[in-house]
Structure 1
Amino acid sequence: MESISLVARKQCDALWQQSFRHPLVQGIKNGTLPLEQFRFYIKQDAYYVREFAKLHGMAAAQSDDADVVATLLKIGLGLAEGELQLHQKLFQTLEISEQEWKTFRPAPVAYGYISHLYHVVSKGSLGHSLAALMPCPWLYYEIGLQLKDARPKEPIYREWITEYSGEGIEKNMEIERALWDETSRSASDEERREMIHIFMQSSDYEYHFWEMAANLKDWPTYGKGENAYGQKSTVH
């Protein structure tokens, strides 16, 4: 029987190809992406990574194996320290102030993606949790491989490519992939189908994350001091 990760990857290939070809990804590669779109993306991604790190702590609590617990906590800590340091550096370059970040609210797709992850992880099954969490590092690793030789003129895009084509993301991805395969080895056919479905849901959110940033898709009238009904907002 093929490993669950390999089956899931094959079933999601068409969707992942859309991410590889997405104008935002190609714009980073070629250095042609408008900085306004990248700026919007980085704020959403910083929110995502912060929550993604915490979700690894929740997933770690689902195992009684000390090695598994330590592995997931280490990955979560690495995310919190590594990628968030990158985001902080990019925040400075993009002139995203502390006040702007303090008042930031995630856009619908980013909020929906994280809500999806919390929903799955809250159910308490490590195999299902890893199915939900895996597409992010795995997809970014493959994007990093495709972009690693690119030399866009915009320095901020070169930094982003360097981060996601490094050895660290590959190592963590392979560790989590092996853990998912091992955890799911004794799963029933129905459980495997459910996990693959969850993997596909997360993969779909990954694609729409690019779409969100490319189209600057935020809440209606968000940030204009009015709600969707044209009234002044009193919510802070």
Structure 2
Amino acid sequence: MAANTSLNLPAEAAKPRLRKSLKLWQVVMMGLAYLTPMTVFDTFGIVSGISNGHVPASYLLALAGVLFTAISYGKLVRQFPEAGSAYTYAQKSISPHVGFMVGWSSLLDYLFLPMINVLLAKIYLSALFPEVPPWVWVVSFVAILTAANLKSVSLVANFNTLFVLVQISIMVVFIVLVVQGLHKGEGVGTVWSLQPFISQNAHLIPIITGATIVCFSFLGFDAVTTLSEETPDARAGDPEGHFPHRHVRRRYLHRRLVLYAALFPRYQPL
């Protein structure tokens, strides 16, 4: 009787694997794209009202907490270099039941975030081109992003790199305009000011409340860990993806927020 050789294959050899095609810079760019560098425009007014104009202080507080999470992710990805991120870590380090709940919660996160991004893109583009029906923007963005994701992860990484570079270019122009406005006496009238951090209206509870909202801006390291199985050496390389993108995000975002808060020191609802 002929032996069924397929049953004798090692489990690891039979297990399907993802193609390891991403380089470090692509992983970093994917993380930055997931953070959406221009998201501060979407939350600044809300958080400014809650924190009494101390948005940078709320971001600093949120950053302190998220850094510990990023360090933990960096260690866990060395132990479990597989796609799945928080789901895999909770399943293997705590219990399968906890992993199940974390997995479904993460799925909702991945469903809602693209919806929010498409909605925001529709709002901005509808304001620029009011003659175009809003549904056209929604369908177009969803179709383009779906096609790119179905093609390959490398195409998605390059696509995201383009988006990140465009956003950074816009923000550089914005920062130059803000600095010019501050030098002309607008806002607090100076580029360097502690008012966004310390003032008579600064109170801990409102700043903490604002920090719970701006955590939305620090989700990129989770996207980085979902790419663990698609990097050549996840055990050695993936934690390196956390900290370049975390460092770039911290320096870039916080400088922009300080200038933004200096130009608009007081929250004034419309």
Same fold (TM over 0.5): no
Larger radius of gyration: 2
Q: Normalising by the residue count of structure 2, what TM-score does the alignment of the two structures yield? A: 0.28
Q: Normalising by the residue count of structure 1, what TM-score does the alignment of the two structures yield? A: 0.31
